[in-house]
Amino acid sequence: MHPDTGFVMNAKALGEIMKDKVVDVVDHCNLNVDVAFMQGKFTSAENFAIGIWEQLESEIAKHDAILHCVKLIETNRIFVEYYGK
C-alpha cells in the first residue's frame, strides 16, 4: 500500500494494463486461433484465467503491486479463480 495515497495500485493504471494486455488482445477473437497466449492450449476457463494471469502479473509488478487473483466468470454459477502458482 502506498503510504501517501493508501492505494495498493492506481486504478487507472490497472485498467490500462488490463485493456492493453487482455481486453484489446482477446475481444472479438477466436481464442484458439487469434490469441498468442492461448496457442497450443485447450481453451478452458481455467487455462484462459492462467493465460490472463501470465499477461498481467509482470506488468502489475512494475507498479510495485502484486496480482492477487484472476476471476473469470462465465455464468452466475460457473467461474474460475486463479491465484498463481
Q: What are the tens digits of pLDDT across the range 6-55?
A: 778 999 999 999 999 999 999 999 999 999 999 999 999 999 999 999 99
Neighbours of 28 (CB within 10 A): 5
| CA 3 – CA 85 distance, rounded (Å) | 29
Q: What pLDDT sits at residue 85?
A: 87
Residue 62 lies in a domain: yes
Give the count of domains, the chain: 1
SS3 38: helix
pTM value is 0.89
Residue 5 lies in a domain: no
User: What is the residue range of 69's domain?
Assistant: 11-82
